[in-house]
Amino acid sequence: MKNQIQKTSPIIPSDVAKYFLYRAIQDGDLVSPLKMQKLVYYAYSWTLVNNKKKLFEEKMEAWPSGPVVPSLYGELKIYGSAPIDEDYLGVSSTNEFNEVICTKFPADIKVTLDKVYEGYMTKTAFELVALTHSEKPWSETRKGLSPTEPSNKTIPDNLIIQQYGQQK
């Protein structure tokens, strides 16, 4: 690949999750931790392809339920399969949200995040699991593992770029 992947600002996976959760709350939608993991995966993937930047430095792992960001899993596991609560945002107003979270995202990244939200939010968590399971980055990374076997194998960026770069 001719264009090198750039590093971005100090965005962390929970910033992306909070951005999506805020939008979902505004739309009157609920988001489970399972669905959020997939939304964050697609945000990472499409930022890598469209913006030629890593959205965050943490690696995605190929867990039995699909791609997972371990730190985000740790933060969201208290919700189990229930929707993520508005308290997760950690802010008390729209202005505070805009100052604390939104300012972390450059305009080009925000465009990608909004496209991901609009393209994937309408799918259920299980549709997103099925979709990630059908795609090469997760399936290649899990090769040789049984469907339920735990794994912390990381999904390589080059597989993500191959998969989604063809769909641009």
Q: What is the pLDDT of residues 36-62, one digit of tens each?
A: 999 999 999 999 999 999 999 999 999
What is d(CA 23, CA 42) in angstroms, rounded to the nearest whole number? 16
3-state secondary structure of 14: helix
Share of the chain above pLDDT 90, in %: 83
pLDDT for the residue numbered 93: 86
- Summarize the confidence of residues 23-31 as an average pLDDT: 95
Q: Name the residue range of residue 125's domain.
A: 6-165
Q: Is residue 1 part of a domain?
A: no
What is d(CA 55, CA 46) in angstroms, rounded to the nearest whole number? 9
Q: Is residue 112 part of a domain?
A: yes
What is d(CA 5, CA 125) in angstroms, rounded to the nearest whole number? 29
Q: Is residue 62 part of a domain?
A: yes
pLDDT band at residue 1 under the 50/70/90 scheme: very low
Contact 77, 88 (CB under 8 A): no
Count of CB atoms situated within 10 Å of the CB of 65: 19
Q: Is residue 121 part of a domain?
A: yes
pLDDT band at residue 94 under the 50/70/90 scheme: confident
pLDDT for the residue numbered 47: 97
Q: Is residue 153 part of a domain?
A: yes
pLDDT for the residue numbered 5: 55
User: Which of 71-75, 82-86, 96-100 comes out lowest in average pLDDT?
Assistant: 96-100
**The tokens of 45 are what?**
């993937």
Q: How many structural domains compose the chain?
A: 1
pLDDT for the residue numbered 164: 94
- What are the backbone dihedrals phi and psi of residue 62, each rounded to the nearest 5 degrees, phi first? -95, 85
Long-range (24+ apart) CB contacts under 8 A made by 150-158 are: 150/63, 150/64, 151/61, 151/62, 151/63, 151/64, 152/61, 152/70, 153/61, 153/62, 154/59, 154/60, 154/61, 154/62, 155/59, 155/60, 155/61, 155/62, 155/67, 157/5, 157/48, 157/54
What is d(CA 56, CA 72) in angstroms, rounded to the nearest whole number? 12
What pTM value is reported for the model?
A: 0.92
